[in-house]
């Protein structure tokens, strides 16, 4: 029958459009009204209408334009209903929503929307979830699992953040030049937070988390395309590509955790690494160094293993020095100490380790205890190493990393 012939391609197209253009459509509908929740409803109605119409009547030539037209109509209906008592709907809103847009050329306002989501008035911890929902259309339950938050609480926080954007009329616009660097970092940090949550599931066994690394890379690409002159978005993109390129090497075929030094470089994705190198070079060509470029450069020095069989530790230590200058982060200090131990031995590494009393966050940081345990074991302090392993194991979320640490611990002499 007619409808069956259309069904499959229609669903496929709707999925593709949702993936490619969700944020663009939402940004366009919400820009004037500032009402993200209403725009989401309107857009969701439009997608529902497409799911009913397209399989029956065939796919429109311009699917985005079709969806936008329906979403705008729904949005106007919604605002009319809500403001039924008011004399008329704000004319500017009505005009903006119904104004004809060249259908093939929907202006891309995603960047402005991202800046609104990462506005200082919005709670920092909700920025990454908000970006995932607003730009990519992920649902609250998926986001909640990824960030280890209860779905009800995540939903509530997302609603509250959108409400704040609407009631405070946070502008959907690019920040002024002087506040751009700081505001841009808020956007980039949120993207990186989303990546890190996906990265925490290296085996890719958790379907709720695995796509997050890909989604974060997609978001970074959007920012680099819309702000081609800014080096740090490129730095972030390169950093994530280097990391993602090693995904399949992080687990043995039998599922065991494989630490970076033991990874089989043949499993690294060379195409992705090559892209990362090009992106990073392009970033440094713009002549303004920043922490994401430094972090990406460290990854690049690790990748030297492909060419010279060992990472470039001298360079890695220098880069960590620069990064520590910039961030004063105990995590950077920890990684710097590990790099030093590679070059000058475990005693030197232990001496450079940040002190757990210097920063309370370290006490609950799994990687700190795992690194400390390893260095202590290599120096021969097996009792202290055993205790550090206990904490590293107890703080670990990933079962195969836990198993790896348990094996290391069991290998200690008693």
Residues in touch with another protein (CB under 8 A): 148-150, 153, 363-364, 387, 389-397, 399, 402-403, 406, 409
For another protein, give the closer residue by CB, 222 or 405: 405
Least Å distance, CB 150 to another protein, is: 6
Q: How far is the CB of 200 from another protein (least distance, A)?
A: 9
Q: Which is nearer to another protein, 78 or 404 (by Cβ)?
A: 404
Q: Which two structure tokens, joined as six digits, stand for 388?
A: 């550090």
From CA 44, how far away is CA 57, in angstroms rounded?
Answer: 20
Instruction: Considering the complex, state which of residue 144 and residue 280 has its C-beta at the smaller distance from another protein.
Output: 144
Query: In angstroms, what is the minimal distance from the CB of 129 to another protein?
Result: 12
Q: Which is nearer to another protein, 18 or 331 (CB)?
A: 331
Q: Do the Cβ atoms of 29 and 72 come closer than 8 Å? A: yes
The residue (of 82 and 397) whose beta carbon lies closer to another protein is 397
Q: Report, in Å, the least distance between residue 406 CB and another protein.
A: 6
Minimal distance, residue 409 CB to another protein, in Å: 8
Nearer to another protein, 186 or 370 (CB): 370
Measured from the CB of residue 214, what is the shortest distance to another protein in angstroms? 22
What 8-state DSSP symbol labels residue 357?
A: G
25/401 with CB nearer another protein: 401
- Please provide residue 147's backbone torsions phi and psi, each rounded to the nearest 5 degrees: -100, 10
Q: How far is the CB of 331 from another protein (least distance, A)?
A: 17
Three-class secondary structure of residue 251 per DSSP: strand
Q: What is the DSSP string of 48-106?
A: HHHHHHHHHH---SSHHHHHHHHHHHHHHHHHHHHTSSSSS--HHHHHHHHS---TT--
152 or 260: whose CB is closer to another protein? 152
Q: Minimum distance between the CB of residue 394 and another protein, rounded to whole angstroms?
A: 3
Enter the DSSP assignment of 148.
Answer: T
Nearer to another protein, 107 or 255 (CB): 255
Cβ 191 vs Cβ 219: under 8 Å: yes
Minimum distance between the CB of residue 378 and another protein, rounded to whole angstroms? 20
- Minimum gap (Å) between residue 204 Cβ and another protein: 16
Between the alpha carbon of residue 113 and those of residues 28, 160, 173, 229, the distances in Å are 9, 16, 7, 19
Among 251, 127, 141, CA closest to 193: 127
Q: Quick one: 38 or 401, whose CB is closer to another protein? A: 401
**Any long-range contacts for 315-323 (C-beta under 8 Å, 24+ apart)?**
317/343, 319/294, 322/289, 322/294, 323/291, 323/294, 323/295, 323/298
DSSP letters, 270-302, are HHHHHHHHHHHHHHHHTT---HHHHHHHHHHHH
Which of 137, 103, 157 lies closest to 30 in space, CA to CA?
137
Q: Which is nearer to another protein, 209 or 246 (CB)?
A: 209
Alpha-carbon distance 102 to 174, whole Å? 23
Distance CA 342, CA 359 (A): 24
28 closest CA partner among 14, 42, 15, 17: 42
CB 401 within 8 A of CB 255: no
CB of 132 to another protein, least distance (A): 17
């Amino acid at each position: 029958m007619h409808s069956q012939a259309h069904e499959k391609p229609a669903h496929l197209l709707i999925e593709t459009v949702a993936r490619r253009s969700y944020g663009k459509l939402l940004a366009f509908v919400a820009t004037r009204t500032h009402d993200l929740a209403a725009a989401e409803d309107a857009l969701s109605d439009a997608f529902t209408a497409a799911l009913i119409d397209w399989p029956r009547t065939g796919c429109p030539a311009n699917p985005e334009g079709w969806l936008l037209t329906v979403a705008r109509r729904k949005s106007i209906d919604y605002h009319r209903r809500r403001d039924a008592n008011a004399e008329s709907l704000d004319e500017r809103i009505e005009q903006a929503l119904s104004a004809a847009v060249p259908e093939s050329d929907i202006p891309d306002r995603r960047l402005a929307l991202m800046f609104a989501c990462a506005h200082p008035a919005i709670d920092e911890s909700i920025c990454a979830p908000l970006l995932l929902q607003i730009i990519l259309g992920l649902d609250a339950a998926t986001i909640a699992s990824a960030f280890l938050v209860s779905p009800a609480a995540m939903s509530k926080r997302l609603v509250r953040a959108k409400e704040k954007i609407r009631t405070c009329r946070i502008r959907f616009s690019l920040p002024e030049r002087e506040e751009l660097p700081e505001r841009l970092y808020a956007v980039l940090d949120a993207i990186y937070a989303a990546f890190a949550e996906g990265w925490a599931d290296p085996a890719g066994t958790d379907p709720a988390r695995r796509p997050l690394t890909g989604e974060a890379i997609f978001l970074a690409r959007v920012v680099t395309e819309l702000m081609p002159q800014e080096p740090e978005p490129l730095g972030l993109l390169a950093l994530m590509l280097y990391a993602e390129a090693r995904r399949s090497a992080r687990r043995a075929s039998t599922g065991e955790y494989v630490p970076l030094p033991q990874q089989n470089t043949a499993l690294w994705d060379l195409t992705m690494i090559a892209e990362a190198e090009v992106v990073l070079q392009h970033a440094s060509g713009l002549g303004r160094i920043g922490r994401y470029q430094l972090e990406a450069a460290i990854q690049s020095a690790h990748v030297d293993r492909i060419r010279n069989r060992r990472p470039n530790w001298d360079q890695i230590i220098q880069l960590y020095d620069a990064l520590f200058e910039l961030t004063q982060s105990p995590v950077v200090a920890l990684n710097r100490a590990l790099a030093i131990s590679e070059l000058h031995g475990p005693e030197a590494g232990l001496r450079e380790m940040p002190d757990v009393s210097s920063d309370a966050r370290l006490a609950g940081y799994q990687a700190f205890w795992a690194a400390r345990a390893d260095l202590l074991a290599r120096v021969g302090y097996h009792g202290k190493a055993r205790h550090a392993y206990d904490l590293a194991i107890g703080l670990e979320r990933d079962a195969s990393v836990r198993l790896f640490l348990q094996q290391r611990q069991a290998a200690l002499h008693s």
